[in-house]
Amino acid sequence: MRIGISTRALFDLEEEHRVFKTEGVKAYASMQLAREDTVLGKGTGFEVVERLLALNQPGKVPFVEVILLSQNSPDLSLRAFKSIDRYKLGIKTGSFTSGRSLAPFVPAWGIDLFLSNEDADVKGAVEGGAAAARLGNVPKDRNETLAGEVRVAFDGDAVVFGPESDAVYKEQGLDAFLAHEVANADNPMARGPFGNFLHKLSALRQVYLTDADVSKVRIALVTARNAPAHERVVRTLRAWGTPADEAHFVGSRSKAPILRALGAHIFFDDQEKHVLGAATVVPAGHVPGPHDPAMPVIPAN
């Protein structure tokens, strides 16, 4: 599995980014060079990357590879790699493009998932064929979780699954949506933008699966679907061979308390309001989609 991540998603560069926005690239570059030997703080994507890399076994081919993809200049890469070395992260490779689009480098590296704080970077990664999400700030209210585990949580429709069921609701209403999902409960849904990444993550989960059916890699689904629309979700995951360790069918309730109780190390959703709510308690990423941010993707009855 290959994960691409921007320097600002991996590290806390918010102060530097403010300088870039308000004073321009020269002031930003000058600030970075002046702080070249100052270790960067941990960004929103740091913990999940650290935990995924910890799954690799010394002396063996790594299960997880993390690659820096950044529109910074090569001259500014030294601070990032010095901080990586200080934290003992197993990140050795990367691309620094001096403002050029990252899109061509996503397939070149074979990236499965790209994490960034910038919309342009995320859209470039999507164009390059990867699952991608825009991260927010580091959550301040985090539950401590067991060392050695990595917990990844996903929304369902338009993230793991395709958006086809959404169209039924939008065009025909709630009753038609529920009737459609019940009638198609045995028909697996199409893969969404994170469908392929889920398959890769599920394979990694299988590597660490014990006889007690417990893995260091835990997969959770946190979706606004509820009964009777839940059955198609379960049957789709079964048909794909990608079982979830946990599924939370929350209906119209907030997802944040569930995610906090779950202790997710990252959560992906295509609705901005769910991402903003989740980001107060867990690292959360917004998945680009065609939906109006103000409208529910899948309704709860």
Helix, strand, coil % over all residues of the chain, rounded to 5: 40, 20, 45
155 among known catalytic residues: yes
At 298, phi and psi to the nearest 5?
A: -120, 125
CA dihedral 252, 195, 176, 172 (to 10 degrees): 100
Kindly report the backbone phi and psi dihedral angles of residue 41, in degrees, each rounded to the nearest multiple of 5, phi listed first: -75, 170
d(Cα 283, Cα 286) in Å, to the nearest integer? 10
Closest CA relative to residue 89, chosen from 133, 136, 56, 131: 56
Buried b (16+ CB within 10 A) or exposed e, 238-268: eebebebbebbbbeeeebbebbbebbbbbbb
Reduced to 3 states, what is the DSSP secondary structure of residue 197?
Answer: helix
Which among 146, 166, 148 is positioned nearest to 157, based on CA atoms? 166
Task: For the beta carbon of residue 106, count every other beta carbon within 10 angstroms.
Answer: 26
**Catalytic entry in 112, 155, 157, 269:** 155
Q: Identify any residues that bridge with 194 across adjacent strands, giving them in sequence order.
A: none
Which residues are identified as catalytic? 155
